[in-house]
Amino acid sequence: MAAAKKTTDQAATDSKSGSHAPPDFTKDEELRALRDMLLIRRFEEKAGQLYGMGAIGGFCHLYIGQEAIVVGMQMALKHGDQVITGYRDHGHMLATGMEAKGVMAELTGRQGGYSKGKGGSMHMFSKEKNFYGGHGIVGAQVSLGTGLAFANRYRGNDNVSIAYFGDGASNQGQVYESFNMAELWKLPVVYVIENNRYAMGTSVTRSSAQTDFSKRGISFNIPGEQVDGMDVRAVKAAGDKAVQWCRDGKGPFILEMQTYRYRGHSMSDPAKYRTREEVDKVRHDQDPIEQVRNRLLALGVSEQDLKKVDAEVRAIVNESAEFAQNDAEPDPSELWTDILR
Amino acid sequence: MPIDVLMPALSPTMEKGNLSKWLKKEGDAIKSGDVIAEIETDKATMEVEATDEGTLGKILIAEGTQDVAVNTPIATILAEGEDASAAPAPKAEKNADAKSVENKSDATGDPEKSPKSSDIKAESHPSPRKDTPEPDPEVPEGTEMVMTTLREALRDAMAEEMRRDPDVFIMGEEVAEYQGAYKVTQGLLQEFGDRRVIDTPITEHGFAGVGVGAAMAGLKPIVEFMTFNFAMQAIDQIINSAAKTLYMSGGQMGCPIVFRGPNGAASRVAAQHSQDYSAWYSQVPGLKVIAPYSVADYKGLLKAAIRDPNPVIFLEHEMLYGVSGPVPKLDDYVLPIGKARVVRTGAHVTIISWSHGMTYALKAADELAKDGIEAEVIDLRTLRPLDTETILNSVKKTGRAVAVEEGWQQNGVGAELSARIMEGAFDYLDAPVARVSGKDVPMPYAANLEKLALPSVADVVAAAKAVCYR
């Protein structure tokens, strides 16, 4: 098993798309990326804090480290495109424009939450923002996201469905059932595999025979690419290409986003399956937010202006936490609502 | 204002922990995400990450301290320009204590430990069980009745709904070119084309999920399973995705979908192809479950299922596909979901069944009549929501009841019927409710054994006589 471990460590920093630099962002794009990624990070830090205080119950899976993926992908989408994901979903909701207040209040199980407190961290939806959840069963969102793409094709619109899942979910059978149908019927779905190297506590090399996830569609003739998921520019560039492929009616596309989760799988995970040095190295060398911050400074944006962005984001997050802790619990009558229409 | 760093709870059950190590000193610069301390929880050693930026002001709990209660301030973080003396530590502690008490009951998640007023209120809140469905619409006098086979009636129902609503489509194995494994979808491909009549690969889990996703996007799929035995591969999507999403989304995201196909025992196909899922699906809130017997009911209820905005399980029976029955020749024959039908009236005993079970029930009623026992026979038609009212009204009249099902007895629909009758008509009962069911064995292949495994007319007659003490 020693050999397997070695490969894990090696895979940790390899990024095949790193060779050619992605196209530059404009200053406005960089600022938007910074703001949106910071919002997710600060939100997640606050969620972690509230969990520690006992204000959030059950499971809580934080997205810290992976922010560039949803933010970059969202920059490649247009109105009407759908987003669906698994249980590590807070970042996706914020990226689609769902309000921090409603998400945080759902985490605390309050009536002002997106699901009136009945869904919790893993089950939130927004029809308005085309966010289709928030699914707690690993891999289920892949078939569902394929169904969203089916609906686009059935209706003859040019919208695209983005189905996010992890390296762990990539080993579920229904993923391949969906790949087969998506290519067979040329459905407009981008499968975004967020490879954060660990399926809960099991590293990719210990769980996957083929660790290059961009190749997982080969036997269905689905094209795939590996992307530096820590560089928001690379994510957007890959997203633009994949989404256009779908809009052109060419069928599905797979993007393997190489990323890293800084926190444990969930709040109760001490993450003893990896070293602190590994985490620190990614944080230090590849942090998606630091990358943008440094580029903005190089573009002549002042420290002061960057602090303003941080202050704006913190204000939103603090307000959401305040609301989420003071909002009322759902009325007992809510127990019996929303079972059937 | 300095920010308190609180002793975190890192699992829902943690109430205290040991502060084993400080990794930062007073005066150190802190960035959010920095590991500042290590604590030992009930499970493992965990790292405490800062969520704020600034300078570590005061360490309030020294390393090595045991049993530090969750939410106790362990240190303060100073923002730019603040100094440590600004920290009103004792006051902060008091606040945090109050908070920790307040939070405890929220955090335990143990219903026994935190009996909330909401639980008590919920008990007295009426459950939406007493459904009062609409009665069947009157079929106008003089309406022509057309003898139709069941498979034709199902096809007609789908074709009519597909003509009416362009969002309705059908997908499943062999539904298009092959014209349906049981010929139920005959002619649909020719009329509606391959955009709306879709052959899927043999991939139940996947296409059930695709159907549910399409329904979440607002389409109205009919998903045909070649048999419900194969839907076990898809049951996660049916229950976890289709049935629960409306609730989990606080009413935002519905799932208007019909899962249909033959259910239960056909003939000589043995254990893996002969299971009755009536009890399985009818246990799940968020689903409607329909399992009719008569040809006209199949048509009227399938049309209703397709129009229903909820996920509907529509259980058909292969042994009935070729049976013909009169169907009213009406433009739009739609029946109410959730309404049982009294098929035969009688004063001495109520026999309750559904789907193919009705064949035993009706024949048994004929037999019983020869012995002077007048049985009232109820066809449930819908298993969820269950029409308790019709059942209780009948049992209050007859005082005796027999439940007949092809499925297994343990936790079966008959068990539920028996419980509801006991709860709602105990004082009217003259005998314990009897259950006739499939035997508690996997379905055997041999003809004689298969016959023994299924309920029979004789079983129903015997049970009815027993409750009549005859």
* A146-162: pLDDT as tens digits: 999 999 999 999 999 99
Average pLDDT over residues A301-305: 96
Question: Who contacts B16 (Cβ-Cβ below 8 Å, separation ≥6)?
Answer: B7, B67, B68, B69, B70
Amino acid at B196: R
Q: Which of A121, A162, A181 would best serve as a mutation to test chain B binding (most B beta carbons within 10 A)?
A: A181
Distances (CA, A) of B130 to A53, B244, B385, B420: 42, 21, 9, 11
| Euclidean distance between CA atoms A213 and A14, whole angstroms | 13
CB pairs under 8 A between A and B: 219
A80 near A130, Cβ under 8 Å? yes
- CA-to-CA distance for B79 and B71, rounded, in angstroms? 21
What DSSP string runs through B89-151?
HHHHHHHHHHHHHHHHHHHH--TTT---HHHHHHHHSPPTT---PPPPPPPPTTPPEEEEEHH
Which helix (H) or strand (E) segment is A151 a member of?
helix A140-155
Report d(CA B168, CA B218) in Å as an integer.
10
CA angle B225, B230, B235 (to 5 degrees): 90
Q: Which fold, B3-109?
A: OB fold (Dihydrolipoamide Acetyltransferase, E2P) (2.40.50)
Residue B176: which residues within 8 A CB-CB, separation 6 or more?
B185, B188, B189, B194, B197, B198, B199
Using an 8 Å CB-CB cutoff, list chain A residues near B203.
177, 180-181
Residue given tokens 């409607």 in the structure block: B288
**CA A275 to each of CA A197, A262, A264, A270, B163: distance values in angstroms, whole numbers, following the listed order:** 13, 11, 12, 11, 62
DSSP code string of A227-258 = EETT-HHHHHHHHHHHHHHHHTT---EEEEEE
Q: How far apart are CA A106 and CA A112, in angstroms?
A: 7
Per the CB < 8 A criterion, the answer to whether B284 and B243 are in contact is yes
Closest residue in A to B205 (Cα–Cα): A174
Q: Residue B417, SS3?
A: helix
Q: CB distance from B303 to chain A under 8 Å?
A: no
Nearest to B249 among A119, A142, A151 (CB): A119
Q: Which residues of B touch A134 (CB under 8 A)?
A: 248
In angstroms, the CA B456 to CA B461 distance is 9
Q: Which residues of B touch A337 (CB under 8 A)?
A: 251
Beta strands in B347-388 (DSSP E): 349-353, 375-379, 382-384
Handedness of CA B447, B452, B454, B456 (dihedral sign): positive
Which residue of B216, B259, B313, B382 is the best one to mutate when testing the A interface, meaning the one whose CB has the most A CBs within 10 A? B216
pLDDT in tens, B375-408: 999 999 999 999 999 999 999 999 999 999 999 9
Mean pLDDT of A89-100: 98
The architecture (CATH level 2) of B341-467 comes to: 3-Layer(aba) Sandwich (3.40)
- Distance (Å, whole) CA A269 – CA A198: 12
State how far the Cα of B180 lies from the Cα of B186, in Å rounded to an integer. 6
> Which residue among B152, B161, B224, B273 is the active-site one?
B273
Q: Which residues of A touch B240 (CB under 8 A)?
A: 136-137, 140
Q: By the 8 A CB rule, do B75 and B13 touch?
A: no
Domains and CATH numbers, chain A: 23-265+273-321 (3.40.50.970)
Q: What is the pLDDT of residue B93?
A: 41
Nearest to A177 among B6, B169, B203 (CB): B203
**Structure confidence at residue B130 (pLDDT):** 43
Are B209 and A174 a contacting pair at CB < 8 A? yes
Token pair for B14: 């943690």
Q: How far apart are the first and last CA of chain A?
A: 53
- What residues contact residue A225 under an 8 Å CB cut-off, 6+ apart? A17, A214, A238, A241, A242, A254, A255, A256
Nearest to A235 by CA among A22, A6, A20, A9: A22
Quick check: B423 and B392 in contact, CB under 8 A?
Answer: no
Residue B6, Cβ density class (10 Å: 0-12 exposed, 13-18 middle, ≥19 buried): buried
Residues A49 and B32: their CA atoms lie apart, in Å, by 11
Task: Name the percent of chain A lying above pLDDT 90.
Answer: 90
- Interface contact A332-B118, CB threshold 8 A: yes
Tokens linked to B255: 């799932």
Angle at B328 between CA B324 and CA B330, to 5 degrees: 135
Does the pLDDT at position A16 exceed 70?
Answer: no
Q: Contact at 8 Å (CB) between A66 and A229?
A: yes
Polymer length of chain A: 341
Sign of the CA dihedral running B410, B412, B414, B418: positive
Beta bridge partners of B314: B260, B290
Asked if B180 is an interface residue toward chain A (Cβ–Cβ < 8 A), one would say: no
Catalytic, B49? Answer no
d(CA A246, CA A186): 8
Question: Between vectors from CA B75 to CA B71 and to CA B76, what angle results, nearest 5°?
Answer: 110
Identity of the amino acid at A162: I
Whether the CB of B62 is below 8 Å from some CB of chain A: the reply is no
Give how far A120 is from chain B: nearest CA, Å.
8
Amino acid of residue A117: G
Interface test with B, best of A43, A63, A339 (most B CBs within 10 A): A339
Nearest CA in chain B to A174: B206
- Measured between CB atoms, does B179 come within 8 Å of chain A? no
The backbone torsions φ and ψ at residue A225, rounded to the nearest 5 degrees and listed phi first, read -140, 145
Contact B311, B237 (CB under 8 A): no
Closest Cα in chain A, distance from residue B459 (Å): 37
Minimal Cβ distance to A49: which of B51, B240, B286: B51
The structural domains of chain B, with segments of one domain joined by +, span 3-109, 145-328, 341-467
Instruction: Tell how far CA B78 is from the center of its chain.
Output: 53
Residue B317 appears among annotated catalytic residues? no
What is the model's pLDDT at position B134?
Answer: 61
User: The tokens of A23 are what?
Assistant: 């196209």
Give the residue among B207, B219, B193 at the shortest CA–CA distance from B261: B207
> From the CB of residue A23, how many other CB atoms can be counted at a distance below 10 Å?
10
Chain A residues with CB under 8 Å of B11 CB are: 267-268
- Contact between A123 and A87 under an 8 Å Cβ cutoff? The reply is no
- Which residue in the list B152, B161, B173, B204 is annotated as catalytic? B204
| β-pair partners for B21 | B38
- Average predicted confidence (pLDDT) for chain A: 93
Tokens of B154: 């199902």
> Cβ of B111 under 8 Å from any chain A Cβ?
no
- Are B3-109 and B145-328 the same fold in CATH? no
- B270-309: b (≥16 Cβ within 10 Å) or e: eeebbbbbbbbbbebebbbbbbbbbbbbbbbbbbbbbbbe
Superfamily of domain B145-328: Thiamin diphosphate (ThDP)-binding fold, Pyr/PP domains (3.40.50.970)
* Pairing outcome for strands B16-22 and B65-69: antiparallel
Q: What H or E segment, with its residue span, contains residue A164?
A: strand A161-166
H/E stretch holding B5 reads strand B3-6
Task: Extract the residue ranges of chain B whose pLDDT is less than 70.
Answer: 11-13, 42-43, 84-135
Per CB-CB distance under 8 Å, the chain A contacts of B286 are 339-340
Residues B406, B418 contacting (CB under 8 angstroms): no
Between chains, do A135 and B241 touch, taking CB under 8 Å as contact?
yes
What does the block give as tokens for A68?
A: 């560039």
Q: Residue B390: in which H helix or E strand, if any?
A: helix B388-398
CB of A106 within 8 A of CB of A113? yes
pLDDT at A268: 83
Q: Which tokens go with A262? A: 């800084």
**A23 near A233, Cβ under 8 Å?**
yes
SS3 B170: strand
